[in-house]
Amino acid sequence: MDFFRSSAFAAFLFGAISSVSLPIGALIGIWTKPSRTVISAVMSFGAGSLMAAIAFELVNPAVEREGAGFLPLALGLLLGCLLFIALSRAADAKGGAARTRSTLLSSLKSSKKLQVRRVLERLATVDILRALPAGQVQAIVPRIKRRSFAAGRPVFSQGGEGDAMYIIDSGLVRIEYSDETGGRRLVAELGAGQTFGEMALIWNAPRTADAIPAEDTKVFEIQRDDFVALTESSPELKAAVASLAAERGRTGQIPAALVSGEAWAAEAALHLDENAYRPSENELKAAVGQSHASAAMAIWLGLLLDGIPESLVIGASMTGFSASPALIAGLFMANLPESLSSSTMMKEAGTKTGRILGMWSSLVLAVGVGALLGNLISGSLPPVAHSLFEGLAAGSMLAMIAQTMLPEAYERNIRMVGLFTVLGFIATVFFHTLGGHG
């Protein structure tokens, strides 16, 4: 019975109360299917509320604590931030990025950056392209298509129209032709990283050979029409292509590029528009479906990661059997939009309502247990360690706001973010005054 009168039990109780908004937000998201504007407003409101709670209930007490001072708090803030970033990346890599639209977009964007850079490295192996201005050719990257060819299925045939060039990503392609006697002649066998059909980009002439995959092969394809459209929009590139074509007509060869492949690819990457990395809506929807179907545990862990710091904060801030109204209200309001946003995505991806509510309800228990542990740990800490502990929690929460909540709000509706963030901050200040703190 003594346990139920202890500050540890109070911490568990208030931790659960602050996070009960998680299943509430999930139900609202499932039943009402809120618009992007509403999600943005609620998310930014929660972010502002949480920032005020951190300032009042963590940073200010830690700074004023006797025997501690600024340095332990600053160190804790930095370590908490770095710890959150590291754990968040680990969870995202396992599928946890699908917990919100913004984290999923960020994860897909990073993956796409790696893919684009790999494409540029492939392009840099093509003499024709490397002889052209890297800052101009990079614009072709968004138009490159990835295609697959089964073994024995010709990519193109001798005498056909030269309408595209190809870079082999994986597989093996035989280049061969029929001579005057009807016999077959092998010109080359090409593997990953090698190119064929490149003269189609600058020289409008029929194919002089067949390109036949010797095994299942994947290639990057650049259509001549796309390349021509690019040259028409860039006088510099058009002049360079005309010069190459003239040299090819005079000598039968393409002049050697003046820069190395590595330097060319690096320069091209510097000129890439960020829009080249942004996933399309179809890519996002496909990723949502795949992630929620195969990585539910990783998503749950990602959501738990967002909740751990707040649970420790509640426990550490408890005095006796009471908690700060500003902190509890701030956390309650901050939890609501994250579950609302995530649950909306989960439902769109086909996740069952029962499973969604089960995930969020389990987090209520987890936050309560975390608050209990935070109370037990902080109660025995000396002043310096206590400030360091609070800094760890505050740093993690600030990083979570910056990496999860505000990006989600911006992604949904950037015009609403400033106003509702300030309104959320004001709301928590109001609850702080109810607690009798100055």
Please report, for the domain that includes residue 149, its CATH number.
Answer: 2.60.120.10
89 and 128 belong to one structural domain: no
Which of 276, 304, 330 is the last residue before a domain boundary? 276
128 and 90 belong to one structural domain: no
307 and 246 belong to one structural domain: no
61 and 25 belong to one structural domain: yes
- Phi-psi region for residue 437, left (φ > 0), alpha (ψ -120 to 50) or beta? beta
Question: Rounded to a whole number, what is the largest CA-CA distance in the chain?
Answer: 100
Global confidence as pTM: 0.62
Strand 184-190 with 210-213, pairing: unpaired
Note whether residue 285 is domain-resident: no
Note whether residue 27 is domain-resident: yes
User: How is residue 177 written in tokens?
Assistant: 């032709």
Which of 276, 309, 341 is the last residue before a domain boundary? 276
Note whether residue 282 is domain-resident: no
Note whether residue 100 is domain-resident: no
Note whether residue 51 is domain-resident: yes
Which of 241, 276, 311 is the last residue before a domain boundary? 276
What is residue 223's three-state secondary structure? strand
Instruction: Report which DSSP code applies to 144.
Output: -
Note whether residue 107 is domain-resident: no
178 and 144 belong to one structural domain: yes
pLDDT of residue 432: 78
Written as tens digits, the pLDDT of the chain (438 aa) is 465 566 777 778 877 887 888 888 888 888 887 788 888 888 888 889 888 888 887 788 888 888 777 899 999 999 989 988 887 777 777 666 666 667 777 777 777 777 777 777 777 777 677 767 777 777 777 778 889 999 999 999 988 888 888 888 889 999 998 877 777 888 889 988 788 887 777 777 788 889 999 999 999 888 888 888 877 877 777 777 777 667 655 655 555 555 677 777 777 777 766 666 666 666 666 665 555 544 556 666 666 766 777 777 777 666 555 566 767 777 777 777 777 777 776 776 667 788 878 888 888 888 888 888 877 777 677 888 888 888 888 888 898 888 888 887 887 777 888 999 999 899 888 877 876 544
132 and 269 belong to one structural domain: yes
User: What does the buried/exposed string (b/e) look like for 122-131 if buried means 16 or more CB atoms within 10 Å of the residue's CB?
Assistant: bbbebbbbbb
218 and 140 belong to one structural domain: yes
Per the structure, the complete domain to which residue 66 belongs is given by: 2-95+295-434
Q: How many domains does the chain have?
A: 2
What is residue 175's three-state secondary structure? strand
224 and 320 belong to one structural domain: no
